[in-house]
Amino acid sequence: MSLPNDASEDRMQMMTKTERFSKLFDELERCREDEQMQKMEEMNGLIDEMNEEELKSIFTIELFDKIHQIIEEKTLPLENALVLLKHVGYYRELKIIYLESFDYSLLRERMKEMIIDENEKKEEINEKILTDLCECYALLGEDDIFGEVLSIIVPCLLKVALKKDETEEAQKEVEMALLALGNIGYWVEKESYGNEIKEIIKYHQEHQNLTRLAYQSAWEFLIKRFHNYESLEEVFVNDLHFAREARREIEELKRDVDWKRKEETGKEAKELLIFRKWIYNIDNYFTSCKLWNEEVEKLLSSFVQMIREFRDNSKKVSNWCFFSITNAAENRNVKIDDLLKSGAVDAFSEEMKQSTLEDKIVYDCLYFFLNVSRRLNEKKDDEKKEAKRKSIKRKMFEWIEEGYEDVMTSFHAILPDLAEKSKFLQLSKYSSDYLWSL
């Protein structure tokens, strides 16, 4: 006969992850502090395995408000609550999950007050509590961060991120601080903290002292500011060599990721999540970049290569790359000639001829060719530029295999349906817009 606690454990195993999490959370108030930590370790393990839908269903405004309540009532010590909240923020940001519930909760406002109050203590300040509060606030929020709280959070986290200690514990602290900074890069002014983040990136390039996620996050802190301050691109391209570094990191991750692990365990490997974050940030760069050199050309070629490499064993990665190259084609600073030389035109043409295609990929392919077509059909006033445009169009004719026109025309009937499903962009309803004529 099973013992009572064995039966209880069996029932727990039969519950879904969200049900088990809710049960553990409800028990927190009735536990001693040491028992709370044990239960939170179990809760953190469940968070690691949750997908976006599960995480959103658990971490609602009501749950964040409840956490605020039990902190205020002192039934859950602040230090224990921060352990749980940091873990939620870590995986929310690592998995690129949009979680706006924190922004509308009582906990967000209370945490903001705690950051300001702790910072004002000066000599009596508890550095660990302040750092944990700043990390939670930065990792969990989606809304703007500005004013006094931003001026406290960024210096506090940079102080941690600048540590050169290479012990495992120190590396974890640096990783968490940089991950939090990466999430709030949008709200930081161009002139602020540029030297500190450059120092972190350059020191790593020389000494390899950061974890992969920490290094990626340092770049993210900069690249999110790049959208608002294009003058940063000179630093990106010629000083820090973003494209070269991103390409190297992706090539290393490709070798190290176990691409079948998720299918076998239902849990994404951390390396795969970092790989996706690199692609996400490179996509941001492709969308806005103006300086185009050999390093960026090679990065584009790597994306084309990944489309072919992952077409069979990881369609999701292949689709990410299709989307990024589609954005690159829309950016007029990306040369059509480079789209040809990189093999992008070939890869998109090959995909269009597949017998079964997801609507999203059909959309990306059509939008890619629409942008290329529009740019190639814009006549130039300068004779040399006009001659080059015609030369590239001839190359395009040679590059596209026979049957391209039939493929494009075959998609004409489904264009209204595709446009309806992708309202954020508009496809042309004329199939001739996707074709070329001299």
* pLDDT at site 17: 92
* pLDDT at site 398: 74
Virtual CA dihedral for 427, 432, 436, 438, nearest 10 degrees? -140
Which amino acid belongs to residue 131?
T
pLDDT in tens, 269-327: 888 899 999 999 999 888 888 888 889 999 999 999 999 888 877 888 888 999 999 98
Is the pLDDT assigned to residue 182 strictly greater than 60? Answer: yes
Counting beta carbons within 10 angstroms of the beta carbon of residue 376, is it exposed (0 to 12), middle (13 to 18) or buried (19 or more)? Answer: middle
Which amino acid belongs to residue 308?
R
State the DSSP string of 113-134: HHHHHHHTTGGG--HHHHHHHH
Mean pLDDT, residues 232-246 taken together: 89
Computed on alpha carbons and rounded to an integer, the radius of gyration of the chain in Å comes to: 25
What pTM was computed for the model?
0.88
pLDDT in tens, 81-99: 999 999 999 999 999 999 9
Mean pLDDT, residues 210-221 taken together: 95
* pLDDT at site 6: 55
Which amino acid belongs to residue 356?
T
**Average pLDDT over the chain, rounded to an integer:** 86
* pLDDT at site 3: 43
d(CA 84, CA 64): 11
Range in 220-224, 231-235, 285-289, 395-399 the model is least confident about: 395-399
Is the pLDDT assigned to residue 388 strictly greater than 90? Answer: no
For the range 73-77, what are the long-range contacts, defined as Cβ-Cβ under 8 Å and sequence gap of 24 or more? 75/28, 75/29, 76/28, 76/29, 76/36, 77/33, 77/36
CA nearest to 201, candidates 155, 154, 159, 236:
236
Virtual CA dihedral for 427, 429, 435, 438, nearest 10 degrees? -110
Q: Token pair of 184, please?
A: 């709030």
What contacts 431, CB < 8 A, 6 or more positions away? 408, 409, 411, 412, 415
